[in-house]
Structure 1
Amino acid sequence: MEIQMMFKVPASFMYGQLIRSVQADIKTHTGHEVLPGSLDGFTYQKKWANGMTGKLTITHAIANQRYAYELDTDRDHYQVDYQLRDLGDHKTMLHYTETIEGKTAKGKANNRTAGFLLNWQRKHRFKKMSRQMAAQYFS
């Protein structure tokens, strides 16, 4: 999945919103607070309400430019990348990419089917969440 959006907020604001969310997630799952400068390479275990677990590794945390991670679960390998480009005049371009690779033939087939059926909904939710993050700049 790939999404590109422009926001009328500085890249530093969008990056800060994203990183605060990441820090809250880390604290929830590990009980530890991690400073933004220590995120690059940080790895932790996540557990979801449905019992699924995964190992999340932050692969890039470049202030005001990029946040990316990889997530390994029993079924899938996810790669997620947020790239921010400061356009000046308090405008930011967000380029988001997400790939999901099933670890088995059945998993790959399920991901293709689910991707086809649910991609619109996932994109819609992502765009809504991103707009809500940007709207906080004006509150």
Structure 2
Amino acid sequence: MEIVKKMQVPASFFYKKIIDSVLYDIQDTTGRTLSESQLKNFEYVKQFNEKTRATIKIEDIKLNETYAYRTSTTRNEFVATYTIHPIDDTNCEITYSEQMKSHGTIQALNDMVTGLLLGFFKKKQFKRMLQMIESSYS
């Protein structure tokens, strides 16, 4: 999945929103307070419900340019990347890409069917999140 969207916010504003969210999630999940400089290669386990947990590893982070992370479960692995391209001082273009690798043939088939059914809603939800970030810029 790939989404490209022009945003009416500075690249630095969008980047800070993403990083603030990541730092909050890490603090909420692990109890640890990290700085942005500690994020690269940081790994933690997040429990989603009684049966589902994932290892999240921050793989790439570049100030106002890139944020990428890997989420690994027993069933599959997701790699998500935000790439931020400044257009000018008040606008940027965001490219969000996500790749999934399933563990096993049956899981791959299940993920393919689920992806087809839920892909539209996932994109819609992601675009809504981008709109919320844009509307929070004053």
- TM-score for the superposition, normalised by structure 1: 0.96
Q: Distance in 2 between matches of 1:49 and 1:17?
A: 26
Q: Distance in 1 between matches of 2:25 and 2:119?
A: 24
Question: Which letter maps to 1:24?
Answer: Y
Q: Distance in 1 between matches of 2:69 and 2:135?
A: 25
Query: What value does the CA root-mean-square deviation take over the aligned residues?
Result: 0.9
Q: Which runs of 4+ in 1 moved over 4 A?
A: none
Quote the residue 2:133 is aligned against: 133
CA positional deviation for 1:50: 4.8
Q: Does residue 1:77 correspond to 2:77, yes or no?
A: yes
Question: Which letter maps to 2:101?
Answer: E
Q: Distance in 2 between matches of 1:39 and 1:10?
A: 22
Quote the residue 2:36 is aligned against: 36
CA positional deviation for 1:96: 0.3
Deviation sequence 1:96-130 (CA, Å, 0-9, x none): 00111110111100111011111110000000011
Question: Which letter maps to 2:62?
Answer: I
Q: Distance in 2 between matches of 1:71 and 1:86?
A: 27
Question: Which letter maps to 2:114?
Answer: A
CA positional deviation for 1:51: 3.1
Q: Cα 1:87–1:50, aligned 2, differ >3 Å: closer, same or farther?
A: farther
User: What fraction of aligned residue pairs are identical, expressed as a percent?
Assistant: 29
Question: Which letter maps to 2:25?
Answer: D
Quote the residue 2:64 is aligned against: 64
Q: Does residue 1:102 correspond to 2:102, yes or no?
A: yes
Q: Distance in 2 between matches of 1:134 and 1:66?
A: 18
Secondary structure, counterpart of 1:88 in structure 2? coil
- TM-score for the superposition, normalised by structure 2: 0.97
Aligned residue-pair number: 138
Q: Which runs of 5+ in 2 are unaligned?
A: none
Q: Which runs of 5+ in 1 are unaligned?
A: none
Quote the residue 1:2 is aligned against: 2
Question: Which letter maps to 1:17?
Answer: K
